[in-house]
């Protein structure tokens, strides 16, 4: 049994921050802390059990989608999900120095996927989008997936505007999804 399995079996479904002092901390947000468990897996420990349940539902809904990290296991206050080895979309765009046609297509597919798997919030913040080693888009932090109803990705468009890539993105939206373009083009004026 590896160390992590020992921790889980000892604590009856709970994992505490003190249990993870030997693991690399990947990040912390307002709801949880993330530690790397293995080269493929990381754990998100939630401050509140309820947030864990809400986010878990989203990961379960997203099981068939490649834009949602794989869910491996979970307990009362944690989920174990796929570790994403790669930059955030913001850093990726900065490095590429453009928002390519391929990236625009991937973002449109990401939004289609949110709808297909039943999320009611068809939106995300740019800091929750990552690009992995094989240039797939992976989105994290899904606690709001069902508790908001949004058909237009206002947040994503605003974030892209802030970092100077909205016009490039909309240029491709106009070509590939003209009906969405009509709905979105005036939002950030």
Ligand X SMILES: Nc1ncnc2c1ncn2[C@@H]1O[C@H](COP(=O)(O)OP(=O)(O)O)[C@@H](O)[C@H]1O
Binding site for ligand X (CB under 6 A): 26-32, 34, 42, 44, 69, 81-84, 127-128, 140-141, 143
Query: If 0-12 CB within 10 Å is exposed, 13-18 middle and 19+ buried, where does residue 69 land?
Result: buried
Nearest-angstrom CA–CA distance, 119 and 145: 5
Of 27-35, 56-64, 98-106, 154-162, the window that binds Mg ion (rule: CB under 5 A) is 27-35
CB 134 within 8 A of CB 22: no
Q: Which residues pair with 43 in a beta bridge?
A: 35, 80
Our finding on whether 88 is near Mg ion (CB under 5 A) is: no
Nearest-angstrom CA–CA distance, 157 and 184: 8
Question: Please, what is the minimum distance in Å from the beta carbon of residue 157 to ligand X?
Answer: 20
First to last CA, the chain: 56
Our finding on whether 33 is near Mg ion (CB under 5 A) is: no
**Which residues have a Cβ under 8 Å from the Cβ of 64 and sit 6 or more positions away?**
117
36 closest CA partner among 70, 76, 91, 80: 80
| Binding at 53: pick from ligand X, Mg ion, none (beta carbon under 5-8 Å per type) | none
| Binding at 81: pick from ligand X, Mg ion, none (beta carbon under 5-8 Å per type) | ligand X
Pick from 19, 55, 123, 141 the residue near Mg ion by CB under 5 A: 141
Our finding on whether 55 is near Mg ion (CB under 5 A) is: no
Pick from 11, 23, 26, 29 the residue near Mg ion by CB under 5 A: 29
Number of residues forming the site for Mg ion (CB under 5 A): 2
Our finding on whether 47 is near Mg ion (CB under 5 A) is: no
Which residues of the chain form contacts with Mg ion (CB under 5 A)? 29, 141
């Amino acid at each position: 049994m590896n160390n992590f399995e020992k921790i889980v079996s000892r604590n009856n479904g709970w994992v505490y921050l003190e249990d993870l002092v030997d693991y690399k901390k990947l990040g912390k947000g307002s709801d949880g802390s993330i530690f790397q468990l293995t080269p493929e897996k990381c754990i998100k420990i939630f401050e509140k059990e309820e947030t864990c349940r809400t986010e878990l539902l989203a990961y379960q809904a997203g099981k068939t989608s490649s834009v949602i990290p794989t869910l491996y296991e979970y307990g009362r206050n944690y989920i174990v999900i796929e570790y994403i080895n790669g930059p955030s979309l913001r850093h990726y765009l900065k490095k590429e120095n453009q928002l390519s046609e391929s990236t625009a297509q991937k973002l449109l597919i990401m939004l289609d996927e949110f709808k297909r798997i039943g999320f009611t919030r068809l939106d995300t913040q740019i800091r929750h989008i990552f690009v992995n080693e094989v240039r797939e888009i992976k989105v994290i932090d899904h606690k709001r997936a069902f508790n908001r109803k949004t058909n237009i990705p206002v947040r994503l468009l605003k974030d892209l505007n802030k970092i100077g890539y909205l016009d490039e993105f909309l240029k491709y939206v106009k070509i590939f999804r003209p009906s969405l373009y009509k709905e979105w083009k005036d939002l950030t004026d």
